[in-house]
Amino acid sequence: MKKYGETVRRIREQKGYTLQQLSSGILSVSFLSKFERGESDISLGHITHLLEKLSITFEEFFYLHDGVGLEQLDYFFDKAKEAYVNRDLKQLRELREIALDQWKTHGLETFRYNLFMLDVYESIIDDRMIQPQNDTLDFLYAYLFDVEVWGYYELSLYNSTMYLMPHEMVMKLSQIVFEKRVRYGDFKKFDKVVISILMNTLTYMLAGPNLYREQYKVFLGYLESLRIPEDDLYTRNSLLQIKGNYEIKMGDREKGIEMVKKAISIYTELGSKELAATAENYLHIVLGEIK
């Protein structure tokens, strides 16, 4: 593995700074030189100050270091989702290998959940509707119910496994997510996942029996209380679509169809063909079901 110091050197040289300039006020020239040559590690406090001075974020730093653009976590979830969307069993199994390996070496439950998520995807693709070992699911429930603070990991994990859980469980957990959401004030990434979870919850509930009507309204209220940014047109349009489908289910067929068609037409007009097709497809399912 390449040393972090070498990356710092590259950046420093690109910015045209001398060792003296960069180190001043933070640490000694001699040590910075040593670190850059890969002959020493560096303390967290010091590297923080260096990057600050270089006007570079940690995220960018790691990217420049090893070319992995997304941070480890996003990377894992994105890869998994990508493999799932592409029905790429081979890649899924590769990821599974990695996760299994991590679980074995570290022995922490976290990695077990990753494993579980991959199993879920795999079983869906394979169309053998195996509820993968039920005890794993139970572990997952236990974990999510116990978690005091829903970090980005837990949110992502839940977001990608909720489709495997029964309705009541999803409603309870989504409820918890919404309530604990407050803590992540101005961290946009968090808001995005939370919104995504609520949207998925609504979609999921649409697919279920009608008795969730009340719950549906509650979650819709939650979502609208979150004030979706003006420029997040995608979420706004998805919401329009969901609301339309809901109206259809509730009996107001014409109004619902109109709303969904409107959402589809927006996708079409902006050239997002895939999304338009998916929405169209879903509309047919809903219409077929209700007939």
Site for DNA, rule CB under 7 A: 18-20, 27-31, 33-37, 40-43, 45-46
Q: How many Å apart are CA 120 and CA 124, to the nearest integer?
A: 6
Residue 251 touching a copy of itself (CB under 8 A): no
Length of the chain in residues, anyone? Answer: 291
Smallest gap from Cβ 133 to a copy of itself, in A, equals 22
Question: Rule CB under 8 A: which of 57-96 touch a copy of itself?
Answer: 57-60, 62-64, 67, 69-74
Contact between 208 and 201 (Cβ < 8 Å) = no
Residue 18 interacts with, from a copy of itself, DNA, none (CB under 5-8 Å by kind): DNA
Interface with a copy of itself (CB under 8 A), residue from 127, 135, 231, 254: 231
Structure tokens at 8: 């710092």
Helix axes 4-14, 58-66, angle to 10 degrees: 100
**C-beta of 21 vs 265, nearer to DNA:** 21
**C-beta of 75 vs 289, nearer to a copy of itself:** 75
Smallest gap from Cβ 129 to a copy of itself, in A, equals 28
Contact between 114 and 145 (Cβ < 8 Å) = no
**C-beta of 31 vs 103, nearer to DNA:** 31
Question: Rule CB under 8 A: which of 15-34 touch a copy of itself?
Answer: 15-17, 21, 24-25
Interface with a copy of itself (CB under 8 A), residue from 262, 285, 289, 290: 262
Residue 274 touching a copy of itself (CB under 8 A): yes
Residue 19 interacts with, from a copy of itself, DNA, none (CB under 5-8 Å by kind): DNA
Interface with a copy of itself (CB under 8 A), residue from 6, 29, 34, 56: 56
Contact between 58 and 20 (Cβ < 8 Å) = no
Residue 142 touching a copy of itself (CB under 8 A): no
Q: How many Å apart are CA 276 and CA 141, to the nearest integer?
A: 34
Q: Residue ranges of the alpha helices (H) in 107-212? A: 109-126, 134-146, 152-161, 167-180, 188-207
Interface with a copy of itself (CB under 8 A), residue from 146, 166, 182, 288: 146
Smallest gap from Cβ 64 to DNA, in A, equals 18
Residue 139 touching a copy of itself (CB under 8 A): no
Half-sphere exposure of 171 (CA within 13 A, CB side): 16
**C-beta of 57 vs 131, nearer to a copy of itself:** 57
Interface with a copy of itself (CB under 8 A), residue from 166, 209, 271, 288: 271
Instruction: Output DSSP code: residue 130.
Output: -
Q: How many Å apart are CA 26 and CA 14, to the nearest integer?
A: 20
The contacts of residue 257 (CB under 8 Å, 6+ apart) are 244, 248, 283, 287
The contacts of residue 22 (CB under 8 Å, 6+ apart) are 12, 32, 50, 53, 54
